[in-house]
Amino acid sequence: MSVPRGAVHAKWIVGKVIGTKMQKTAKVRVTRLVLDPYLLKFFNKRKTYFAHDPLQQCVVGDIVLLKALPERRSKHVKHELAEIVFKVGNVIDPITGKPCAGTRFLENLSDSENLTEADTTYLSEKLQELKVCQTDK
Amino acid sequence: GRFPVRRTLQYLSQGDVVFKSSVKVMTVNYNTAGELSEGARKFVFFNIPQIQYKNPWVQIMLFRNMTPSPFLRFYLDNGEQVLVDVEDKTNKEITEHVKKILGKSKETLEKEERERKKLSHPATFGPKKYHLRECMCEIEGQVPCPAFVPLPKEMRGKYKAAMKNEA
């Protein structure tokens, strides 16, 4: 078989989701580094691909791995969602497996070690106030 | 820019990491601050142009300040993903490591070079695009081009025809 998989040149692709307004389809922007022949510098060249997303689990801003479909699903959709690499707002560091944001791990924030005594008393007061409000209602 | 050497063709062609044909996407996550990421930053600054020049069909994506630890991730054709931790490594170590895991070996590269040489025959003449030389006059020791040095009388068609007519 001359074309076992992918009627498209690009078999696997990593891109960022731009739009999810279509039903079960995600619009993904893919950037490749292209050499400018005169400046001899690499610039990002963008291209948008449409990907089939049956469970509609993509949000705008996710980094996503697309896989080429064996044949075209519709006029523009030639890829499907293989895996969400980084979910926006919920990035998991693949080396340690912990959630992180920017250059800090998110786990540590919930530890009470960083909170001073004043903080804990303040927080507990606030909680009591809330409980009182709730009982009033 | 800071290191304009990076933008010369000679520097770009000096890159020795040629990926195997199964590597499709390379993703680099690194941080713009912090000593651990220093090697990764140097790798991105110096070596990524070389890699992209040698592998124009591999998609390379760079992500900054997304995770605390820097790493490289390769997506292969069979669905496999290769995660390479790059924390606390110099940029040379990273290139060596990548070359060892996913680069074509020297023997395969030499083989491909020989295959390419076989296709074009160096002893033929023609347009610059397909052959090395255009005319025999370019070679030293051969008759120089009559455009620059007039041919001796005996070789000129005019003289030869005149001699023939006489005889």
The CATH number for B89's domain is 3.40.30.10
* Strand, helix or coil for residue A119: helix
ipTM above 0.90, yes or no: no
Q: Which of B53, B59, B67 sits opposite A35 (nearest CB)?
A: B53
Strands B59-64 and A12-19, how do they pair? Answer: unpaired
Structurally, chain B folds into a number of domains equal to 2
Domain match, B78 and B131 both: no
> What confidence score (pLDDT) does residue B96 get?
92
d(CA A129, CA A79): 53
Who has greater pLDDT, A7 or A130?
A130
With beta carbons under 8 A apart, name residues in chain A contacting B12.
Answer: 40
- Provide CB contacts within 8 A for B127, sequence distance 6+: B134
Mean pLDDT of chain B: 89
What is the percent of chain A where pLDDT is above 70?
A: 84
- Mean pLDDT, range B64-72, rounded to an integer: 88
Q: Which of B26, B8, B5 is closest to B17 using CA atoms?
A: B26
- Provide CB contacts within 8 A for B105, sequence distance 6+: none
Domain match, B40 and B19 both: yes
| Final residue belonging to a domain, choices B87, B107, B127 | B107
Number of Cβ pairs < 8 A linking chain A and chain B:
74
- Provide CB contacts within 8 A for B153, sequence distance 6+: B159
- Mean pLDDT, range B138-149, rounded to an integer: 87
Residue B66 lies in a domain: yes
What is the percent of chain B where pLDDT is above 70?
A: 100
Contact between A91 and B7 using a beta-carbon 8 Å cutoff: no
> What confidence score (pLDDT) does residue A90 get?
83
Name which of A33, A83, A88 to mutate to probe chain B: the one with the most chain B Cβ atoms within 10 A of its Cβ.
A33
Residue bearing tokens 């060596």: B96
> What confidence score (pLDDT) does residue A14 get?
93
- Mean pLDDT, range B40-64, rounded to an integer: 92
Which whole-number Å values give the CA distances from B109 to B19, B22, B73, B157, in the listed order?
11, 16, 24, 51
d(CA B99, CA A111): 42
Domain match, B68 and B150 both: no
Who has greater pLDDT, A115 or B123?
B123
Domain that holds residue B129: 119-166
Domain match, B69 and B12 both: yes
Q: Is B14 on the interface with A (CB under 8 A)?
A: no
Who has greater pLDDT, A16 or A133?
A16
Domain match, B33 and B64 both: yes
Name the amino acid, one letter, at B105: S
- Mean pLDDT, range A84-92, rounded to an integer: 87
Contact between A12 and B77 using a beta-carbon 8 Å cutoff: yes
Q: Which residue of B has its CA nearest to A94?
A: B83
With beta carbons under 8 A apart, name residues in chain B contacting A87.
Answer: none
- Mean pLDDT, range B98-111, rounded to an integer: 90
> What confidence score (pLDDT) does residue A1 get?
46
Long-range contacts: A66-75, Cβ < 8 Å, 24+?
A66/A12, A66/A13, A66/A14, A66/A15, A66/A28, A67/A11, A67/A12, A67/B79, A68/A5, A68/A6, A68/A7, A68/A8, A68/A10, A68/A11, A68/A12, A68/A13, A69/A6, A69/A7, A70/A4, A70/A5, A70/A6, A70/A7, A71/A7, A72/A7
> What confidence score (pLDDT) does residue A73 get?
86
At A137, the pLDDT band (50, 70, 90 cuts) reads low
Q: Is A14 on the interface with B (CB under 8 A)?
A: yes
Domain match, B49 and B128 both: no
d(CA A58, CA A81): 9
Query: In this structure, are residues A111 and A94 in contact, taking their beta carbons and an 8 Å threshold?
Result: no
Structurally, chain A folds into a number of domains equal to 1
Query: In this structure, are residues A68 and A78 in contact, taking their beta carbons and an 8 Å threshold?
Result: yes
Domain that holds residue A63: 1-136
Q: What is the 3-state secondary structure (H, E, C) of A4-51?
A: CCCCCCCCEEEEEEEECCCCCEEEEEEEEEEECCCCCCEEEEEEEEEE
